[in-house]
Amino acid sequence: MKRFGMAAIIASLVAGCEKPPNVPVEVSEVAVYAPLPGSKMSAAYFVLYNNSDEPITARRFSSPQFASVELHETTTKDGVARMLRLQELVVPAGSFVALREGGKHLMLIGADDSLGLGSTVSISIGYNETGRLIINAPLRARFELDEAH
Amino acid sequence: MKQTELAVPAVNKRYKKSPERPLGSRRILALILLGSTLLSCTQDPADRLPQATVFAEPRLLPEFELLDHTGAAFTRESLAGQWSLVFFGFTHCPDICPLTLQKLALARRQIAGDGGVVPEIVFVSVDPARDTSDAVAAYVSAFGEGIRGAVGDIDALNVLTTALGIFHDRPRNADGGYSVEHSAAVVLIDDRARYHALFSAPHDVQSIVTDLALITSNE
């Protein structure tokens, strides 16, 4: 019985480590921030992996919890910060692109009033002709207010 | 992150412990070298130069008239009496503005914990069409204590931004909206309302903490 229990634990650990087969596109390090008080804008960050043998191009972004979702990039040149809207995100075959704070990000515009910290939001990333990846993530705080005091 | 391994010679257990003997000249030399190495490793951070651009002659700000996030007047006199880290941005900015304010709030928290000269953080909106005192009040409330918002019309803003060399613009987009461009720098105003130093982007919490300790200790 004891041995069976150990085997079951090992099996579940192995299953947890395995990637689903044939996943061409996936994300990690997802961070979706709650809009700051008084603002209906926010941003999402993640690393987008392309496990396939062909480059992918992501162009369609949406979320049922936001009026629109756009791909943007913050650039700081000569000390001036600008935010540029990008039309597409190309991820080479077998590679990844990181969306990070202060760089590329998904801009989440027009937040639903019902959203709050911990609310789960769903973000759809459409790539190539028909590909689609859904990210489900809870809204995080930008800054832990309690620790600030 | 790649870790650097220290090359530690293995102890050769075949050798017996050597008997006590007086320090020879080689050992004294080795000790001096070791001591000097340790000293250089434990150099007081206050001995280093700040990474911020510090003005040899801090410049008194001109008189300006803005409103703070409570709707009260925010003027040059408001900045006297405490050190301030001033950042220019806008509340519809979802990336670089909250990121910068987060770093300033973290720096402020660390300085308070260290018992240093705690600066006030000032967030000045360069988007007068959308940012009211109320909007800025809600926005800055997310970053804890010791942060003040400020708003004003373009002319009023320009009095302050021109004096500080802060760029801001609101170019029209093809869709009829506009985007906001602004300097990413953080300005340090001293407790006599003088432009004292400039922190260029990208910002680093530890550099701000160390630089502020260095700068304020020299005053």
Mean pLDDT of A106-134: 95
Q: Cα–chain-centroid distance for residue A19? A: 18
pLDDT confidence of B3, banded at 50, 70, 90?
Answer: very low
Q: What is the pLDDT of residues A15-31, one digit of tens each?
A: 444 444 467 899 999 99
pLDDT confidence of B26, banded at 50, 70, 90?
Answer: low
**Of A128, A114, A127, A110, residue with least CA distance to A63:** A110
ipTM of the complex: 0.76
- Cβ–Cβ below 8 Å for A74 and B92: no
- B77's tokens: 């006199």
Q: What pLDDT shows up at residue A145?
A: 55
Q: What pLDDT shows up at residue A22?
A: 64
The percentage of chain B sitting over the pLDDT mark of 70, rounded to a whole number, equals 78
Secondary structure, 3-state, B78-96: HHECCCEEEEEECCCCCCH
Chain A residue closest to B96 (CA)?
A: A102
Average pLDDT, chain A: 86
Q: What pLDDT shows up at residue B64?
A: 98
Q: Is the pLDDT of residue B41 over 70?
A: no
Collect all residues of chain A within an 8 Å Cβ-Cβ radius of residue B201.
Answer: 76, 79, 81
Tell me the H-state helices in chain A. 2-17, 145-148
Collect all residues of chain A within an 8 Å Cβ-Cβ radius of residue B94.
Answer: 33, 35, 39, 41-43, 105, 107-108
Q: What is the pLDDT of residues A81-92, one digit of tens each?
A: 998 999 999 999
CA dist., res. B142 & res. A38, Å (int): 10
Q: Among B99, B139, B184, whose Cβ lies nearest the Cβ of A37?
A: B139
Contact A83, A90 (CB under 8 A): no
A96 compared with A145, residue with greater pLDDT: A96
pTM: 0.77
Mean pLDDT of B108-113: 95
Size of interface A-B (CB pairs under 8 A): 96
